Chain A
């Protein structure tokens, strides 16, 4: 039973354009969401997060949007850069828990 789903295994965008990565969840108890980026042979690195009391959080080129009614969140990267090419994982957590539930990841390729 996948509680966090990333339905697009891969995404390819042109440098300078917007990258939009999507994530859906099923557990209404989730109240904190995170995005991680992972390069080959490295561990996941934290990118940006959002609490369920917000619907948007920005950090530089990265913005995360949360739609609680649709149980959907998205990560926008503007403008996309070749160095953004990596696997992006969406993760969710409930306040009562310490564990992160990850999606299966989306591989982003930013073409020069």
Chain B
């Protein structure tokens, strides 16, 4: 049983650029959530996907968007990057009936310069 894998592990982008982060869910999991963890803070919920549709969103602007694919892998897209977007982005998957049984990936460290 594989865990949650995220790619890339590190990324440096310039302000104004766009970025795509990828996540492969744990086997058997059909729900994926994305979290942003700024330095010195706890993870903050961005959104969740189930059956390829967004079914919940945190307090993040529309330039944060996502996709879930039929194989339950997922992408997080961020447009018009800002310096404050620099953070660790965590993907977490679960089976939808196991509401809080999340397995987290190791994250993608995004630096915006």
Contacts and interface: CB of A to CB of B under 8 A. Distances in A.
A29 interface: no
Interface in A70-104: 89, 91, 93, 97-104
A98 B99 contact: yes
Given A43-B104, A46-B103, A93-B99, 20 more contacts: A4-B42, A6-B42, A36-B104, A43-B90, A43-B92, A43-B103, A43-B105, A43-B106, A43-B107, A46-B102, A98-B31, A98-B55, A98-B99, A99-B33, A99-B58, A100-B43, A100-B100, A102-B35, A102-B43, A104-B42
B41 interface: yes
A2 B19 CA distance: 28
Contact of B44 (A43, A98, A102): A102
Interface size on A, as a range, is: 20 to 34
Given A34-B100, A99-B48, A104 B58 contact: no
Interface residues of B, number: 25
Contacts of A44: 43, 90, 104
B40 interface: yes
A46 B40 CA distance: 19
Given A43-B105, A100-B102, A89 B43 contact: yes
Interface string A15-39: 0000000000000000010101000
B45 interface: yes
A104 B40 contact: yes
